[in-house]
Chain A
Amino acid sequence: MPDGDTQVPELAFPLDIPCLKRGAMEGTKPFVAQAEHQAKLGFPGELVPDWKEKALAKMQELAEKNRAFQVYLDICVKCGACTDKCHYFLGTGDPKNMPVARQDLLRSVYRRYFTFAGKHFPWLVGARDLTEEVLNEWYSYYHQCSECRRCSVFCPYGIDTAEITMAAREILDSVGVGQKYSNEIIGKVKDIGNNLGLNPKALRATLEDLEEDIEDDTGVSVRLPLDEKGADILLVTPSADFFAEPHIEGLIGYAKVFHEAGVSWTLSSYASEAANFGLFIGSYENMREISLRIRKAAQDLGVKRIIFGECGHAWRVAYSFLNTLAGPWDFLDQSYPVPQHILEFTWDEIQKGTLTLDPSRNDHIRLTYHDSCNVARASGMGDYPGGQFEIPRNVIRAVCNNFFDMEPDTIREATLCCGGGGGLLTDDLLDLRIKGSAPRMKALQNVTEEHGVTHMAAICAICKTQFGKVMPKYGYEMDAILSVHQLVSNAIILTGQEGEDEDEAEDA
């Protein structure tokens, strides 16, 4: 959908509840995957003739394999606590974007075929037959959920719409109706090793260019090693870090931190991707296959530790699932968590005092920080609950003098999704992305008014790309979104780097 058509929502305040606009987002849906994309993931290429039986069989299978699916479909009492919590509902007003209503699209079918009440009294409990219309509705509205889990924080039973969305997408995939964006990307990871389809040669050239840039900039030779056997640390980072702004500035930041910490590290061309879109489509098998690439890379390179770069859902898969999917990690150094987040590493180094930091180098920035949903609500950092909120802020405060948080009900565990997560970061959903980002943008505008905030930092490749695209719609420059390690990179003074004055550095 061309974004020129989008009415940018004007909210009075970030969590402003809209009136219901029935059918507002009815036609919205992403491109459907082609047969070749489906085949690589082991899914049928098009809607199979016996799709209804297949879909119900898949639903039964999920109910037997996944406790969350079974329990969450049964126990919702329709209390309404979640109804105003989804950013897509706040931005679009479409009632089917209320978390409970989104779940009900599938729950109604589950009830019809798998519960006593739904089998015998469908009208009483809102049960309905599975028809092609319903299938289309699933495709549309289960691709208007970014699986951000904000609803689950506020549900008295912790019902997580992300689990239902993932299940729905898995059912859709199993009958041949996949989403092009996610499934094509998963295919690329399987073929080449990353979402971009960047081959090892191109990757090596990119990294060499970056090494030159850093040396030109600082006069210090900082390495970005690739496929170096015997390195201590394997860095797995989203491939956006190799080519896009502001991501790439973050990668430079990691390299500088490793350099100053004096550790040996490497990237892998085989596992050159932290992102794992298997999560988005709810496919355990695909998620596992992608994760196993990291295991193989770690074994082949003989590393002792694994560290992940800035990426939200990748950190969920890494922190919460990697041990399950690709463990046990007994061949790695057990004195470090497996895996570690780059911010955990950087914060440790800051506390040890190995980094020379000059926060005044970021004085041209008045900063706020966007907690990425998957980091905030689906993973952790450090060794205490809530470390995922404190550690990034600790690092930010160490490298930036002007930091201001957004309103409390829009950050930390209540953080608002960027609007582009969960496999929705595709231009065919741009209208939805712009509307879904409205609550976050309003919270940002509020700190701009109150504190003159100019920039927002994030630690997720999807957030960064999404904000780069939508922030101009809300009156910001597209480079107002920053990587946290970009700020670190700005502030760090490398050993041997000539003074702080840029003229001096150029003279040298």
Chain B
Amino acid sequence: MLGTVYAILFYVATLILLIGVVRKIRIYARVPAPLKIPTTPAPKTRGGVILRVIREVVLFESLYKSNKWIWLFGWVFHMALWLVLARHLRYFTQPVWGWVEVVQPLGTYAGFAMLAGLAGLWARRILVERIRYISNPSDHLMLALLMGIGASGAMTRFVAHTDIVAVKAYMLGLMRFRVGDLPNDPTLLVHLGLVIVLMIVFPISKLLHAPGVFFSPSRNQIDNPREVRHVAPWAAKMEN
């Protein structure tokens, strides 16, 4: 019964996540950028632009220039999140990939770094007057959701040990459209429930910054307006 409810929720959430994000990415890709607006100085070659975007995504270069505290908390949270996600691949693969085995011990403790980063960001949101001013309830709830996922996940590992072998069997089953039994473990159910919520809100929330950052014209445009003529399709029609 429990397994079936969660299976339905997972399938629905996955569909919403995929369709929602793909739809948004298509909009971002299709809407033209009518003018060249890279924030300069900007790279003059495609290779340079790719490096610029990689630096933004991997190092948070602009954020580093802006504010070392936000950078520290934000960067630690995001990088730890990657490690944690990578570690979770072991529950969806059989046999487990070699590199996942390697990050496994790191990923376990990255969960704490993730929580620390989130706590730092939340503290700033509450304590710094300027950031408190710009925060909506959803901004606080998003942090609560992520911390809830992190904390409940850590609990299944360090406090109320869950039957992880059974969970893995259930997940492998879901991926082959076979619904099995899910352990009736409250911590685990909370953890999975919150993940489902996160998947559903992803395409309708500020989490769209993840795909969106790649489409930001001020970062992804090449600074060559004098050399290459850039005209949006709707603007080209004005010339006839």
Contacts and interface: CB of A to CB of B under 8 A. Distances in A.
Contacts of B48: 385
B215 A67 contact: yes
A354 interface: no
Interface in A48-91: 63-68, 70-72, 74-85
A327 interface: yes
A126 B137 CA distance: 8
Nearest to A20: B129
Nearest to A108: B136
B225 A66 contact: no
Nearest to A151: B66
Given A117-B205, A124-B138, A158-B219, A68 B37 contact: yes
A31 interface: no
B229 A328 contact: yes
Contacts of B205: 117, 125
Nearest to A76: B206
A422 to B, nearest CB: 15
B217 interface: yes
A356 interface: no
Interface in A209-264: none
Given A100-B134, A152-B218, A323-B229, A67 B33 contact: yes
Interface stretch (B56-64, B84-92, B159-167, B179-187): B56-64
A385 B43 CA distance: 6
A443 to B, nearest CB: 17
B62 A78 contact: no
Contacts of B223: 380, 385
Contacts of A327: 229
A456 to B, nearest CB: 22
Contacts of B121: 79
B139 interface: yes
B96 interface: no
B36 A385 contact: no
Interface stretch (B7-15, B111-119, B230-238): B230-238
Most interface-central of B32, B56, B67, B137 (chain A CB within 10 A)? B67
Interface string B101-134: 0000000000000000000010011001111011
B130 to A, nearest CB: 4
Contacts of B235: 284, 288, 324
Contacts of A66: 31-34
B28 A67 contact: yes
Contacts of A288: 235, 238
Interface string A127-167: 00000000000000000000001001111111110010000
B226 interface: yes
A72 B223 CA distance: 20
Nearest to A101: B134
B175 to A, nearest CB: 28
Contact of B67 (A75, A77, A80, A386): A80
B134 A78 contact: yes
Interface stretch (A174-182, A371-379, A461-469): A371-379
A367 to B, nearest CB: 23
A153 B62 contact: yes
A243 B129 CA distance: 47
Interface residues of A, number: 73
A126 B212 contact: no
A442 to B, nearest CB: 20
B216 interface: yes
A66 B32 CA distance: 6
Most interface-central of B48, B56, B60, B226 (chain A CB within 10 A)? B226
B133 A98 contact: yes
A20 B39 contact: no
Interface in A86-117: 95, 98, 100-101, 104, 115-117
A394 to B, nearest CB: 16
A337 interface: yes
Nearest to B129: A20
A318 to B, nearest CB: 9
B17 to A, nearest CB: 14
A154 B65 CA distance: 6
Nearest to B33: A67
B63 A156 contact: yes
5 closest Cβ pairs, A-B complex: A75-B212, A154-B66, A158-B218, A385-B41, A126-B136
Interface of B: 24, 27-28, 31-37, 39-44, 48, 56, 60, 62-63, 65-67, 70, 74, 121, 124-125, 128-131, 133-139, 141, 204-206, 208-209, 212-213, 215-219, 223, 225-232, 234-235, 238
Given A95-B133, A380-B223, 20 more contacts: A63-B31, A65-B32, A65-B34, A66-B34, A71-B216, A75-B216, A77-B139, A79-B70, A80-B128, A81-B63, A81-B66, A82-B66, A126-B137, A156-B62, A156-B74, A156-B213, A321-B35, A324-B225, A380-B41, A388-B40
